[in-house]
Chains A and B, each alone.
Chain A
Amino acid sequence: KAGVTQTPRYLIKTRGQQVTLSCSPISGHRSVSWYQQTPGQGLQFLFEYFSETQRNKGNFPGRFSGRQFSNSRSEMNVSTLELGDSALYLCASSLVAIPYNEQFFGPGTRLTVL
């Protein structure tokens, strides 16, 4: 089976712009979770989608949003980018997410905000 794929792998944006990141889960996996990783805050949970519904959301402002499509592919969007949004964004997929058992992570999208 192909692993979790994320596109693009690298992005450079400027403050105020918006960005959309994409994640394709492992075939058959219906849950997709997103995490932000920064040197200062570490890995932080953004949100989780299951069957096109957002089930859980971490402590992030409304500028961070996402969605999931009927084929389980997921996108996350960050609007009005700030310098602090520079991070590695990781998505993870699993068959079911609650409880959170083994998560399969993609390689991440490295976002740089200038």
Chain B
Amino acid sequence: SQQGEEDPQALSIQEGENATMNCSYKTSINNLQWYRQNSGRGLVHLILIRSNEREKHSGRLRVTLDTSKKSSSLLITASRAADTASYFCATETGGGADGLTFGKGTHLIIQP
């Protein structure tokens, strides 16, 4: 079953604009991670935020986590054509029984 749900399912913006995508989840987590996938290939880890953290930055990426609302957001600033990809949030709930639980992803298209 899906733990995380990304919103929106698809997003198209102009190069240079900022892109924001959201993730909601259902149960308590140890950490939440964001991954990028280009065109049906392997996933690339972007950033991990732990349940006791509220915000994290990595280059042009900013992730926030609100455990009271069970939600997270990923902001990509100054988008580039190379950012065109699908973005997934994945939650780690502890115990390992479910591995990482992924949402269905947001497909981001950056228009040149």
Contacts and interface: CB of A to CB of B under 8 A. Distances in A.
Interface of A: 4, 33, 35, 42-45, 48, 55-56, 58, 88, 90, 92, 97-108, 110
B96 A55 contact: yes
Interface SS of chain A? strand
B41 A100 contact: no
Contacts, number: 69
A48 B96 CA distance: 9
B67 to A, nearest CB: 16
Given A88-B40, A99-B30, A102-B33, A42 B102 contact: yes
Given A35-B99, A42-B105, A56-B96, A101 B31 contact: yes
Contacts of B88: 43
Interface stretch (B11-19, B20-28, B42-50): B42-50
